[in-house]
Structure 1
Amino acid sequence: MEKNHIVFENLTNEIAVLRLNRPDFLNSFSHEMITDWYKSLVEFKENDNLKVLILTGTGKAFSAGGDIKALSNGEGFIGDPTEDLWSDAVKRKASLWENIQKIPLLLEEIDKPVIACLNGDAIGAGLDMALMCDLRFCADHARLGEGYIHLGLVPGDGGGYFLPKIVGESKALELLWTGERLNAEKALEIGLVDYVYEKDEVFEKAQQFAKVLCSKPQNAIRMIKRLVKNHNKVSLRNHLDMVSSHMAVVTDTHEYMALLEQMKNKRK
């Protein structure tokens, strides 16, 4: 189990955890990691018993992002190590599309809550992967930053898409242009993370929040996520059309009927 670059397991019958598991390499990405990461997300999406996913790292870092050693060897950050990606720009583009870029595209399809628990530093693509999650719980000693500029690179996994949605365009440009690393307090101040806790309690806090989400009506949880994630992709008219459709569905479920009856009884 310890040799796997991804550890995917159930914390409870309803909460799953996905651990990045290359602690000796600060959980930098590998081809095996990305492949198993994608497979684990598919499993989480398709398992009706699982309601919430927590993404975290093993060891002292959340993730250092791309593997610089692999890049210097001509393998690319996360491509197949048997391929010489430096020899062909088309291959490098295809490597991103066929590997790491599959993860944000799949996450976009998952209506269940996904929580990032930053147990340590999250740099470059490591930070970007946390930005793809719905909420971010952060250890107080962690540092966060976009390091692409130091190698003359652009964020290849969607960081340039997610970061401005969270911190705004001007702050996103500043972070991407400078590669500045922020401490947890500053990251909380600008909205890059949602909660900061001591390193020994951050995972427990994330799990507690996951349990709260599990206790809520699941049809509503997932439809609310879909509405919020699409709020800036559709017009108000189309958004309200989606809302009316979702409302028609949730008010026709046994879950809604039971909760309505409970509320009525409380008011008697």
Structure 2
Amino acid sequence: MATLPQLTDATLTLENRIAVLTLNRHDLRNALTGSNLIDDIVSTAEWVNTCEDVSVLVITGAGSAFSAGGNIRDMAERGGDFAGTPAECAERYRRGIQRIPLAMQAIEVPVIAAVNGPAIGAGFDLANMADVRIAAESAKFGETFLNLGIIPGDGGAWFMQRLIGYQRAFELTLTGRIVDAEEAKDLGIVVDVVPNDDLMTTTMTMAERMANQPPKATRLTKRLMKMAQRMELKDFLDLCACFQGMSHNEPEHMDAVNRMLEAMSRK
């Protein structure tokens, strides 16, 4: 059995190749700053990449919120991550919350965000860093940085426009308005909206289907999906050829082929 990393403000489980990371600071509405959640998320991301027993990572929140993003009390007091001169504050961002997008972008397995409640500011951005989002009916989403007189300092402007396009991302970011789960689905932010009590069941059903795929090919496929966003077609096809050559020589490939042949013979 794999050894799980020691986390402070989140819980982590691993069963049937599915890791579930639960942000567990309900008292702070799972704010990412003013807690240890940044370290917990980064540690989990790094662990996933080195643990061959993981095929899917699910991220959700404990309590009524997915994540409130930044700790507004710290902002009001100019404390914590928001203290100091412009240069000092910028360095805290680099050494603090900006570690999350870099870690999330590097995760090699599929990541599903089960958005159990409001995902606001950096919490919204965290959800957008996942590969797929499923929302409970109570979920709300808001790129609310401008409402506080600040910018999306955690990379949110980079992620959201790749998810829903520049125009829609621009409108949400520049108005700072909050959208409910159904509008989020219409915008393409989430793939599905389900009753609150069904959120984890629905999420785990999707996670199980992904986790049942051959694990090495799954990691290579996710890498291809990410790299396709920034490569020219010819270069991308060359990479596909290399990855396919690797896949054809993995035992899991022949195992999958034999299962398919057995299934066909029973029809």
Q: Is TM (by shorter chain) over 0.5? A: yes
Distance 1:159 1:211, change over 3 A: same
Of stretches 223-232 and 158-167 in structure 1, the one that deviates more from structure 2 is 223-232
Shift of the alpha carbon at 1:36? Answer: 2.1
Q: Find the counterpart in structure 2 of residue 82 from structure 1.
A: none
- Which residue of 159, 162, 165 maps to 1:162? 159
Select which of 103, 106, 110 maps to 2:100. Answer: 103
State the partner residue of 1:15.
Answer: 18
> Match for residue 26 of structure 1?
29
Question: What is the CA–CA distance in structure 1 between the aligned matches of 2:51 and 2:257, rounded to whole Å?
Answer: 27
Report the equivalent of 1:236: 233
Aligned mates of 1:74, 1:256 — CA distance in 2: 55
Following superposition, the deviation at residue 31 of structure 1 comes to 4.2
Q: How far 1:86 sits from its partner (Å)?
A: 3.4
Paired residue type of 2:154: D
Select which of 41, 44, 47 maps to 1:43: 47
**What are the superposed Cα offsets for residues 138-176 of structure 1, whole Å, 9 maximum, x if unpaired?**
001211111001011111111000000111100000000
Structure 1-normalised TM-score?
0.92
Aligned residue pairs total: 258
Q: Which amino acid aligns with 1:106?
A: A
Secondary structure at 1:54's aligned position in 2?
A: strand
In structure 2, runs of 5+ residues without a counterpart are 1-6
One-letter amino acid of the counterpart of residue 182, structure 1? V
Report the CA distance between 1:26 and its aligned residue: 1.2
The whole-number CA distance in structure 2 between the counterparts of 1:128 and 1:141 is 18
SS of the aligned residue for 2:196 comes to: coil
Other structure's SS at 2:153 match:
coil
Residue 72 of structure 1 pairs with residue 69 of structure 2: no
Instruction: Say which SS state the counterpart of residue 135 (structure 2) adopts.
Output: strand
Root-mean-square deviation (CA, aligned residues, Å) is: 1.6
- Structure 1 residues 141 and 90, CA, compared in 2 at 3 Å: closer, same or farther? same
Matched to 1:34, the amino acid is: I
Specify which of 216, 219, 224 is matched with residue 221 of structure 2: 224
Question: What is the match of residue 170 of structure 2?
Answer: 173
**What is the alpha-carbon distance in structure 2 between the residues aligned to residue 61 and residue 266 of structure 1?**
44
2:4 corresponds in structure 1 to none
Corresponding position of 1:53: 57
Gaps of 5+ in 1: 80-84
